[in-house]
Structures are given as C-alpha cells and as structure tokens.
Amino acid sequence: MSAGSIPSGNQIKDPGYPTSSENYLTNSKGALSWLLTLDHKRIGVMYLIGVMTAFFGAGLLALLIRLHLFRPEGAVFSGPEANNWYNQVFTLHGAIMVFLFIIPSIPAALGNFLVPVMLGAKDVAFPRLNLSSFYLWVAGALFFIAALLASRLDTGWTFYTPYSTTTDTSVILATSGAFILGFSSIFTGLNFIVTINTMRPPGMTWFRMPLFLWATYATSIIQVLATPVLGITLLLLIAEKVMHIGIFDPEFNGDPVTFQHFFWFYSHPAVYIMILPAFGVISDLISVHSHKRIFGYRFIAYSSIAIALLGFLVWGHHMFTSGMGPLTTIIFSALTFTVSVPSAIKVFNWLATMYKGSISLTTPMCFAISFIFLFTIGGLTGLHLGTLATDMHLHDTYFVVAHFHYVMVGGTLVAFLGALFHWWPKMFGKMYNETGGRISALVIFLGFNLTFLPQFVLGSRGMPRRYATYDPEFQTLHQVSTYGTLLLGVGLLISLVVLLRSLYKGERAPANPWGGATLEWQCTSPPPFYNFDRPPLVGDPYDFSDIFWDSENERYVTIEPDRKIAPVEQPEPVHAEGNH
C-alpha cells in the first residue's frame, strides 16, 4: 500500500468528484427542498440531525442523574420533591434514549442513507412512506417533549403497570408518543425489506450483499414483527388509563404481569433492533479497515437472521422475579443462552477477519475495536442475568444497568460513532482530522469503562437501580462512575467538534478514502442525486484485490486491466504484464 503500488498497464476507475448540480446536498436549494424531499439520502441526513439532537438532550439528563448520585443523599435535587425529580429525569433519559435515539439511530439515519446506495438502487421502494416515517418520528418526538413539559412522567421507560395506571403523571402523552414512534419504525422496516427484496440491480444476489444490508434486513424483520405488539400494548395501556379496561389494572381484575409479557415481547426483540445494525456496521468496518475479506461471510449473514428469530423467544428473562412458574423460567433461561451463540459466532468471525489483516488504525477502526471489547463484556454479563440463580440476586440492581449500558452504549453507540466516522466522507464529502477522531475514540472508551465497570461491582454488592439515594458504603464507586461520565462526555464532545469542524475546514473527500469494495464507494462523495447513472457493476463486496492506494491523490482506486475496445480487424495479443 505504498506509493507507486498501482501496477502499470491498468486502467484506474474513479468517479472523481460530483458537480454541484449532481451532489445530492446541493442539487436543489431552499428549506422546502429538504423538508419535502423524497431523496433517501436527504431523509437520512434529517434523521441524523434529529437523533443526534435527541441524544444530546438525553445525554444532558444522564449527566444530571450521575451528578445527583455523587453524594449518598443526592447532590443535585433537593427538597421534598427531590426523589420525584430524580424519577422523572431517569424516566425521560431512558425513554428518549431508547425510543428517540438508539432505535432509529443506525437503521433510520444511516440505513436510509446507505441501504439504497449499497444495494445499487436509486431509492428505497417507497420514498413517500419513507418521508412520512420521518415525520412520524418528529411527531412522536414532539409528544415526548410535550410529556416533558407537562412533566412528572416517572414510570421509567418500561411503563410498568400498576404504577403507570394509577399515577397521575403524563403517561398518556408519553405512550402516544411511543405509539407514533412505533409506526415510524414499522414503516422504515417495511420499506427496507421491500427495497432489499425487489430493488436489487442485476448481479446483486443475496450473497453479494454487504453484511450491513443483511443486518438491516434482519433488523427490519424484527421491526415489522415486534413493533405492532408494542403498539397494541400501549394502546391498551392508554385505554386502561382513560377508562380502566381491567386488562392490566389489578383494581379491575387485570393482571400487571400480562403487561410485562406484552411489553417484553416487543422490547426484548427491540434490543436486537438496537444491536443488529451495529453488528452489520462492525462487519463492514473491520473488513474494510483490515483490508481483508470478511471471515465467514455466510455465518455472519445467517447469524443475523438467527438472532432476529430467536430473539422472539426469550422475553421472559426480564420477568424471572415477577412470579412465573418454575418450568417457564427454566425454559426462558435455556432459550436465553441459545441467543448468545449467534452473537458469539459474530465476535469470533470479526477477530478472525482481523487476524493477519493489514489493519489501518483509522478512527472508524478504533471505534470498531472498542466495540468488540465492550460488546463482549456486555454480552457475557447477559449470561449472568440469564442464569436463574444469579439473576435472583442481580435483578433490578446496578448490574443490570451496567449490562445494558455495555451493550447499548458500548455496543450500539460506539458502532454508530464508528459508522458515522466511516461514512462521513461519503455523506458530506469532507475528510475530518484523523488524530482528533482517534483521540475521541480513546477518551470515549476510557470514559465509558470508568462509568460502567464500577456499576457491575455496585450491582453485585446490592445497590438497587432507580434509587435517588444510597448507602454511604457505595459512595466511592458511585463517584468513580460520575467522573467517568464527565470523561465520556468530553470524548463525545471531541467527536462532535471533529466532525463539525470537518464541514468547514475539512479537505474534499475522494470517492473511496478507506479502500472499501462495496458499491457506495463506487459513486462520488457525496453521491449524486440519482446514486448511479446506470445500474452499477456488482462484484464481491469483500474482494479487495483490485483496490489500490493512490498516494498521489490520497485515495483508493479500483483498477482494471487495460482493454482495447472492439479489436478492429487483426486482434493483437493483449500484453499481460498487469495482474493475473
């Protein structure tokens, strides 16, 4: 990969740079051309802005929670309402993070941008539906914020009955918000399934699809199959609240555990909505930045589907202590273990891909490596929780909090950031400062571990979750955790600054800055409005043998042996000095 490594006698294939009338960012102007756009790339960018805003807001709430826990008696909120305030803050933090940030983050924001381009299509199958998904997301978000302003929602993001049916906080507003968001999620998933099924150009077979698309496909299946159940659950909860239908409310003969069943039938698959796209991102990142074919393509592809389907069978592990029968709990526990098998398959395949690859430690790769590390911890601690005997002790403690933050933040968020740094040049046509990016990855990694490792210890020592105050014996660990949060926040800010700065100061990005072989690197950065003039030539997405570093122009290029078009009369022997 050094200078002059491009073998001579070859043609360089590079799409160059887009003109401003081609560039999807500039080909039409005015606010309306964005707000009413049907272009999947612009919708993706709007989602990106939306989810980042949600993340920022919920992140500030998280900071507030951690600062409050700096002291055993609570450092931030005081007075008789202190505990209520605390409950409201963690509720909104959790609900916004889950429904407004993590679920739409990779699938809706990056997926919208990437799926058609990676597939070689002009757009998703239903562009109008796509735009309406976005507006449903906005409407749902507004409902949530209305709930914040109407205030006092303090049920936690799980809306468990009977508390949620008896409290007079703004449950109805918030659940309506979640209901609308559910439809947004369903429509996005439906759109992607249809797109991947019917919009593949000639040559794009199922097994030539980048693994990100496989992961998106699996995610979409879950979105379509699980989210309607959340929809009806929330609708029934609203009905319960308005007219006491007595399905969940014990006062009228209802059964709160039924609510938990309904809720987790969605929400466990939903945790795979959060993590599967991250798996897809990591598969692509690891392969591209190791410049090596992905190891076990089919295993990774099938394991995504396996996770999506198995994920529907394990919801009961959230309710081991809710009074299910002993046999039921044993079955759910055993099924829970089976889900970890496909997850482990993926981790092994990523490691095998890196083995003997020529790894470039770019910013996306730094994030990808820290993903593997953190997700492994998160997944393995899931097994502690899936084991009946240990879960009796660990349930509803900080151990659970640490577990799901390792998978959701250490997993999904880190993968999201990795993906953002990886595809940023493609999305906005600008290169960012690599050093800055790497530093942010490192600071995030350190800050994250400092925040959540102590929580495993706290939980196993008996610190319950969702408490505003605690025994002084836990103080040291809580304080370490709070310091970690500050560090994590700094890391995230560095990322933001690096990315935003690139928009103004960054160099123009070449079409293929990393040496990827998937289709999106074959169109200009940023892509033209139509993605591809004509259906692109589809090759193996992980075959890097004809991609070379062009040090003169700081870019990767695809090369093709020279070919004479239509040999006229006397076919001359083709000189074969090139590759082959």
Partner 1 sequence: MSTIEAAAENAHDAHGHDHDHPSFLAHHFDTPEQQFDSGKLGIWLFLVTEILFFSGMFCAYAIFRMLRPDVFEGCSQFLNTKLGAINTGVLLFSSLTMAWAVRCSQTRQNKGLVAMLASTLSCAMIFLGVKAIEYSHKWEMGLLPAGLFTFDQNNPHPETDTHYLFYICLPFMFLLAGVVLWLIISLVRGNEFHVKCAKPLTVVAICFFVGIGLGMILESGDSSHSEEEGLEEEVMMAEAVELGNESVLQKISRDDTNSGAKSELIARARQSDTAGTSIVQEGQIISGAIVSVEEDVMTKRQAGVFFSIYYCMTGVHAIHILFGIGFLVWLLVRAVREDFNPQYFGPVDYVGLYWHLVDLIWIYLFPLLYLIR
Give contact residues for partner 1 (rule: CB under 8 A): 21, 27-30, 32-33, 36-39, 121-127, 129, 186, 190-191, 193-195, 197-199, 224-229, 231-233, 235-236, 239, 243-247, 249, 252-255, 258, 262, 529-530, 533
Closest distance between partner 1 and the C-beta of residue 436, in Å?
A: 35
First to last CA, the chain: 18
Q: Report the residue number, 120 or 484, with the smaller CB distance to partner 1.
A: 120
Q: Report the residue number, 254 or 516, with the smaller CB distance to partner 1.
A: 254
Cβ distance 284 to 273 under 8 Å? no
* Residue 340's binding partner out of Cu ion, partner 1, ligand HEM, none, with CB under 5 to 8 Å set by partner kind: ligand HEM
Tell me: does residue 318 bind ligand HEM (CB under 6 A).
yes
Q: Report the residue number, 288 or 319, with the smaller CB distance to ligand HEM.
A: 319
CA pair distance 341, 353, nearest whole angstrom: 18
Phi and psi (nearest 5°) for 267? Answer: -75, -25
**Which part of the chain contacts ligand HEM (CB under 6 A), choosing from 160-168, 238-246, 270-278, 553-561?**
270-278
CA pair distance 160, 252, nearest whole angstrom: 16
Q: How many residues bind ligand HEM (CB under 6 A)?
A: 25
* Separation in Å, CA 66 to CA 59, 323, 413, 442, 483: 11, 32, 19, 21, 9
* Residue 434's binding partner out of partner 1, ligand HEM, Cu ion, none, with CB under 5 to 8 Å set by partner kind: none
Closest residue to ligand HEM, Cβ-based?
A: 382
Query: How much helix, strand and coil, in percent to the nearest 5, is found in the chain?
Result: 65, 5, 30
Q: Report the residue number, 232 or 503, with the smaller CB distance to partner 1.
A: 232
Phi and psi (nearest 5°) for 498? Answer: -60, -45
Question: DSSP string spanning 347-394?
Answer: HHHHHHHHTT------HHHHHHHHHHHHHHHHHHHHHHHHSHHHHHHH
Interface with ligand HEM in residues 510-569 (CB under 6 A): none
Closest distance between Cu ion and the C-beta of residue 264, in Å?
A: 7
Q: Report the residue number, 374 or 499, with the smaller CB distance to ligand HEM.
A: 374
Closest distance between partner 1 and the C-beta of residue 423, in Å?
A: 21
Q: 104: closest CA among 268, 269, 270?
A: 270
Tell me: does residue 275 bind ligand HEM (CB under 6 A).
yes
Residue with token string 């955790």: 481
Half-sphere exposure of 569 (CA within 13 A, CB side): 0
Q: Report the residue number, 252 or 348, with the smaller CB distance to partner 1.
A: 252
Helix (H), strand (E), coil (C) string for 96-156: HHHHHHHHHHHHHHHHHHHHHHHHCCCCCCCHHHHHHHHHHHHHHHHHHHHHHHHCCCCCC
Name beta bridge partners: 281: none
Q: Report the residue number, 207 or 252, with the smaller CB distance to partner 1.
A: 252
Closest distance between partner 1 and the C-beta of residue 320, in Å?
A: 20
Site string for ligand HEM, 21-60 (x = CB under 6 A): ----------------------------------------
The two structure tokens encoding residue 100: 């407004």
Interface with ligand HEM in residues 142-181 (CB under 6 A): 158
**Which part of the chain contacts Cu ion (CB under 5 A), choosing from 201-209, 261-269, 274-282, 558-566?**
261-269
Q: Report the residue number, 244 or 465, with the smaller CB distance to partner 1.
A: 244
Cβ atoms within 10 Å of 78's Cβ, excluding its own: 11
Closest distance between Cu ion and the C-beta of residue 217, in Å?
A: 21
* Separation in Å, CA 242 to CA 173, 220, 232, 255: 12, 32, 15, 17
CA pair distance 402, 378, nearest whole angstrom: 8
Q: Report the residue number, 268 or 292, with the smaller CB distance to Cu ion.
A: 268
Q: Report the residue number, 29 or 564, with the smaller CB distance to partner 1.
A: 29
Closest distance between partner 1 and the C-beta of residue 42, in Å?
A: 9
The two structure tokens encoding residue 505: 């100061």
**Which part of the chain contacts ligand HEM (CB under 6 A), choosing from 236-244, 268-276, 347-355, 456-464?**
268-276
Site string for ligand HEM, 104-143 (x = CB under 6 A): ----------------------------------------
Interface with ligand HEM in residues 364-403 (CB under 6 A): 379, 382-383, 385-386, 391, 394-395, 400, 403
Closest distance between partner 1 and the C-beta of residue 527, in Å?
A: 13
Q: Which residues contact 449 (CB under 8 A, 6 or more apart)?
A: 374, 484
Which of 112, 233, 329, 412 is close enough to bind ligand HEM by CB under 6 A? 412
CA pair distance 564, 576, nearest whole angstrom: 13
* Residue 225's binding partner out of partner 1, ligand HEM, Cu ion, none, with CB under 5 to 8 Å set by partner kind: partner 1
CA pair distance 396, 386, nearest whole angstrom: 13
Name beta bridge partners: 13: 558
* Separation in Å, CA 130 to CA 7, 127, 190, 195, 260: 44, 5, 10, 11, 31
Amino acid at 264: W
Tell me: does residue 342 bind ligand HEM (CB under 6 A).
no
* Residue 407's binding partner out of partner 1, ligand HEM, Cu ion, none, with CB under 5 to 8 Å set by partner kind: ligand HEM
Could you list the residues that contact Cu ion (CB under 5 A)?
268
Could you list the residues that contact ligand HEM (CB under 6 A)?
158, 271, 274-275, 317-318, 336, 339-340, 343, 379, 382-383, 385-386, 391, 394-395, 400, 403-404, 407-408, 411-412
